[in-house]
């Protein structure tokens, strides 16, 4: 079976620079062949030769990349691209999807997670949100779509940073972190885009087990942020459950990070997730984590977008420290209640004795 095709979703508010970026991806020489799904051809300089599939209007660019406008259902378009690759032997190494400036990326990610054909043949590489440094504060204050795009990102790319002073940039980064503390923030120079800055980042499935307070953010002269572990983290107390949460009063956005060192009860965590999704589904924007499940030698990887959720067995724990880490970004979630109910899924020594389980 062919290897899954990685998909990068590029989002960002109107004027953030998505079209400039897409044009670069379509026209720059690159050692991989990229199929780019855009909203309108009019915005993209298509110097093309018509390739297969006249109905879907898929064009081949001079550098071998494909460009197609999303006229129909996304899953149909991806099926078409897959067929072009398999049946007509057109080289396609990865796919980029550009969302409209007023669209949240959630429905696109859900399409991948809920469609078996897409699950089998594609995987989300990263969700990248372009943020216009000169207008972002206004957009965040006035447009909920802008907040959703930021909250959903695996990485935030600041454009037009040269148009604002360092104090404004600092305030903006602080605001962005209040909405989404789990995404990296980088500068993207629209004049000198390097394809490797945006493709092949593999961030959607990435799980960070060390995060939050133990990591300081420093910025170098290039405007890149680097994480530095400011202390060696040793857990002396086996009953430490650490929780970090942040409430941002912009449209009720909240973030929650849950951690537990003891194993998690398989049935209880399933019931907990089911109840969360049924109760708060559309308010759960992004949630993911690694679970240390009782009696399982492998990591269990959680990945969720709104109502779409999947749990998969990951790598064996091996010599790694076994712990569970879950992060949530959502709207108006009851953080204290979620923390308490999560703790009821954690098998402390006392709980295991009560249940008659081996510790």
- If asked whether residues 47 and 145 sit together in one domain, one would say yes
- pTM, two decimals, is 0.84
- If asked whether residues 188 and 258 sit together in one domain, one would say no
In a domain, 179, yes or no: yes
* pLDDT value, residue 52: 54
252: tokens are: 């009720």
- If asked whether residues 93 and 190 sit together in one domain, one would say yes
Averaged pLDDT score across all residues of the chain: 85
* pLDDT value, residue 274: 97
Residue 223's pLDDT band, with cuts at 50, 70 and 90, is very low
In a domain, 237, yes or no: no
- If asked whether residues 139 and 196 sit together in one domain, one would say yes
- If asked whether residues 171 and 95 sit together in one domain, one would say yes
337-357 burial, b at 16+ Cβ within 10 Å, e below that, comes to: ebeeebeebbbbeebbeeeee
In a domain, 220, yes or no: no
User: Last residue of a domain, which of 155, 187, 206?
Assistant: 206
**Per-residue pLDDT averaged across 271-282, rounded?**
96
User: Last residue of a domain, which of 184, 206, 228?
Assistant: 206
pLDDT at 124 exceeding the cut of 90: yes
- If asked whether residues 202 and 254 sit together in one domain, one would say no
| Beta-bridge mates of residue 44 | none
Residue 315's pLDDT band, with cuts at 50, 70 and 90, is very high
Beta carbons of 297 and 163 less than 8 angstroms apart: no
Coil, helix or strand at residue 23? helix
- If asked whether residues 179 and 45 sit together in one domain, one would say yes
Q: For residue range 77-100, what is the model confidence (pLDDT) as tens digits?
A: 999 999 999 988 889 999 999 998
Which one is predicted more confidently, 39 or 75? 75
**Number of helices and strands in the chain (H, E):** 10, 17
| Range ranked top by mean pLDDT from 37-46, 100-109, 325-334 | 325-334
- If asked whether residues 294 and 159 sit together in one domain, one would say no
Considering the chain, what percentage of its residues have pLDDT values greater than 90?
A: 64
* pLDDT value, residue 51: 53
Task: Tell me the CATH number at 202.
Answer: 3.40.50.300
**C-beta neighbour count of 191 within 10 angstroms:** 7
- If asked whether residues 288 and 155 sit together in one domain, one would say no
pLDDT at 298 exceeding the cut of 50: yes
Give the CA dihedral 145, 149, 150, 152, nearest 10 degrees. Answer: 130
Parent domain of 33: 5-206
- If asked whether residues 67 and 188 sit together in one domain, one would say yes
Distances (CA, A) of 201 to 5, 195, 216, 277, 328: 14, 11, 22, 28, 21
Which one is predicted more confidently, 231 or 91? 91
Beta carbons of 300 and 323 less than 8 angstroms apart: no
In a domain, 226, yes or no: no
**Cα separation of 157 and 173, whole Å?**
11
In a domain, 213, yes or no: no
Give just the sign of the alpha carbon dihedral 279, 143, 9, 178. negative
Residue 240's pLDDT band, with cuts at 50, 70 and 90, is very low
In a domain, 22, yes or no: yes
Residue 233's pLDDT band, with cuts at 50, 70 and 90, is very low
In a domain, 233, yes or no: no
Alpha helices in the chain (DSSP H): 18-27, 74-87, 106-114, 116-121, 136-142, 144-152, 166-179, 266-280, 335-343, 349-355
In a domain, 235, yes or no: no
- If asked whether residues 172 and 255 sit together in one domain, one would say no
Task: Tell me the CATH number at 293.
Answer: 3.30.1220.10
**Cα separation of 78 and 179, whole Å?**
31
Beta carbons of 293 and 159 less than 8 angstroms apart: no
- If asked whether residues 12 and 159 sit together in one domain, one would say yes
Number of domains in the chain: 2
């Amino acid at each position: 079976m062919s290897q899954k095709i990685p998909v990068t979703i590029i989002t960002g508010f109107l004027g953030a620079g998505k079209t400039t970026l897409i044009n670069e991806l379509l026209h720059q020489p690159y050692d991989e062949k990229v199929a780019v799904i855009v909203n309108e051809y009019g915005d993209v300089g298509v110097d093309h030769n018509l390739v297969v599939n006249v109905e879907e209007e898929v064009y081949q660019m001079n550098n071998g990349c494909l460009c197609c406008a999303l006229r129909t259902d996304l899953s149909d378009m991806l099926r078409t691209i897959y067929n072009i690759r398999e049946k007509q032997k057109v080289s396609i190494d990865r796919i980029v999807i550009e969302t409209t400036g007023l669209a949240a990326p959630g429905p696109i990610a859900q399409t991948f997670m809920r469609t078996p054909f897409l699950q089998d043949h594609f995987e989300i590489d990263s969700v990248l949100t372009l943020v216009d440094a000169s207008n972002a504060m206004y957009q965040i204050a006035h447009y909920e779509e802008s907040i959703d795009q930021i909250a959903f990102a695996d990485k935030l790319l600041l454009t037009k940073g040269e148009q604002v002073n360092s104090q404004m940039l600092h305030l903006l980064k602080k605001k962005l972190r209040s909405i989404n503390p789990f995404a990296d923030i980088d500068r993207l120079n629209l004049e000198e885009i390097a394809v490797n800055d945006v493709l092949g980042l593999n961030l959607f499935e990435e799980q960070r087990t060390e995060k939050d307070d133990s990591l300081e953010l420093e910025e170098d002269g290039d405007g890149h942020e680097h994480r530095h572990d400011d202390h060696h983290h040793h857990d002396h107390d086996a009953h430490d459950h650490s929780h970090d949460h942040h409430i941002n009063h912009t449209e009720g956005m909240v973030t929650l990070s849950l951690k537990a060192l003891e194993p998690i009860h398989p049935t209880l965590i399933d019931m907990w997730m089911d109840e969360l999704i049924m109760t708060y589904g559309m308010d759960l924007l992004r949630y993911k984590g690694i679970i240390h499940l009782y009696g399982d030698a492998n990591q269990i990887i959680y990945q969720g977008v709104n109502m779409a959720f999947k749990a998969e067995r990951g790598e064996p724990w091996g010599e790694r420290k076994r712990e569970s880490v879950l992060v949530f970004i959502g709207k108006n979630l009851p953080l204290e209640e979620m923390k308490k109910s999560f703790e009821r899924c954690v098998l402390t020594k006392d709980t295991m004795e009560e249940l008659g389980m081996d510790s």
